[in-house]
Amino acid sequence: MLQSVWVAMGKGAHRAMPRLTPYLFVLPALAVMTLVFFWPLLQAFYLSLTRYDIITPPEWVGLENFVRLWHDQAFWKALLNTVLFLVCVVPVLVALPLVLAILVNQKLRGVRWFRAAYYVPVVISMVVAGIAWKWLYSENGLLNQGLQSLSLPTVPWLTSPDIALFSVMAVTIWKGLGYYMVIYLAGLQGIPQDLYEAASIDGSEGVQQHWDITVPLMKPYLLLVGVISSISALKVFEEVYVMTRGGPLNSSKTIVYYLYERAFSDLEMGYACTVGLVLFLGIFVLSIINLKLAELRGTPL
């Protein structure tokens, strides 16, 4: 009888193994995610409920940091700047790279050189690019010298509260055009040319042809670029740090730069974790919205 029990247990384990196999494959990735994501997230949540300056041990304060955040005008200014950055930059980075991809997808002589030229900003470090653009934007920089040569007044690109954030946006757009263009180019090269030939027979030419064929077939890539550029816009930091340091008058300060100031300039780690949680929730909600939109449109990500 004991032998039959062992046989039955062996058969049950044998039947359970196929169901457990997928989870065994997922375990290594789950372990890595726990180490680099879930555990730091839990630590950040704990520290957001404390007063912590690295030097002294964390002191439990409950929801004090969240109450302070609610009344913090500098935080709301940084949040508004970040939302403005998102609204202005993302539509350009979704539409303009597609236009560039369509142009460099043509069978023209020397078109590879144009592709390389558009992609060069992607491989340049943002620190190097920021320093170069800061020089271009300076009072005696190349841009203002060009305006002076045309007898036009100079522009305070980085010193005016009304213009500084938009000057930083221009650098972000310039830096990202080539990257998103390559994504679109991969999608365009997968569209059969027969569709364009058939559209020509039906009388669809030029821009109308791309509107009828290219845009509908590129929806998965448009959505992907929208998601990536949105998350990047919410996390913008390097451009602000190198070019403006959040000034003038906090006009170009973004939420990530504000988090950096609280954490590493003022050593308010607990409060910085509170700001980081708000940023995490914003990115999480944005990702969920994009996924839901993809499901409604039947577009796989």
Q: Distance between CA atoms of 161 and 248, rounded to whole angstroms?
A: 6
Residue whose C-alpha is closest to residue 88's, from 100, 80, 98: 80
> How far are the Cα atoms of 94, 166, 275 from residue 132, in angstroms, in the given order?
25, 17, 31
Q: Is the pLDDT of residue 108 over 90?
A: no
pLDDT higher than threshold 90 for residue 258: yes
- Cβ partners under 8 Å of residue 218, min gap 6: 98, 184, 187, 188, 191
Contact 90, 231 (CB under 8 A): no
Residue 108 Cα distances to 16, 80, 134, 204, 229, angstroms = 59, 44, 35, 22, 29
**Average of pLDDT values for 178-202?**
84
CATH superfamily of 73-297: MetI-like (1.10.3720.10)
- Taking residues 198-207, report their average pLDDT: 75
Q: ∠ at Cα 165 (164, 170), nearest 5°?
A: 100
Model confidence band, residue 5 (pLDDT cutoffs 50, 70, 90): very low
Contact 195, 213 (CB under 8 A): yes
Is the model's pLDDT at 290 over the cut of 80? no
Rounded Cα gap, residues 253 and 262, in angstroms: 12
Check residues 230 and 20 and name the one with the higher pLDDT: 230
Tens of pLDDT, residues 8-64: 445 554 555 567 777 788 888 888 988 888 898 899 899 999 998 888 888 899 899
- Using alpha carbons, select from 221, 225, 203 the residue that is nearest to residue 212: 203
pLDDT band of 301, cuts 50, 70, 90:
low
Q: Does 252 have pLDDT greater than 60?
A: yes
Distances (CA, A) of 152 to 137, 145, 155: 15, 10, 9
125 Cβ neighbours under 8 A, 6+ residues apart: none
What's the confidence (pLDDT) of residue 236?
A: 92
Give the 3-state DSSP-derived string for 78-144, with helices as H, strands as E and coil as C: HHHHHHHHHHHHHHHHHHHHHHHHHHHCCCCCCHHHHHHHHHHHHHCCHHHHHHHHHHHHCCCCHHH
Q: What is the mean pLDDT of residues 134-146?
A: 91
What average pLDDT is seen over the chain? 85
Count of other CB atoms within 10 angstroms of residue 195: 14
2 pLDDT above the threshold of 50: no
Helix then strand count (H, E) for the chain reads 15, 2
Q: What does the pLDDT read at residue 242?
A: 93
Query: Residue 91 has what pLDDT?
Result: 93
Least confident of 66-75, 96-105, 109-118, 256-265: 109-118
**pTM, to two decimals:** 0.84
**Does residue 71 register a pLDDT over 90?**
yes
pLDDT value of position 20:
74
Categorize the per-residue pLDDT at 298 as very low, low, confident or very high, splitting at 50, 70 and 90: low
Write down the residue that tokens 């935080």 correspond to: 75
Chain-centre distance of CA 259, in angstroms?
17
pLDDT band for 162, please (50, 70, 90 cuts): very high
- Domain segments of the chain as ranges: 73-297
Q: At 49, list the tokens.
A: 């409920």
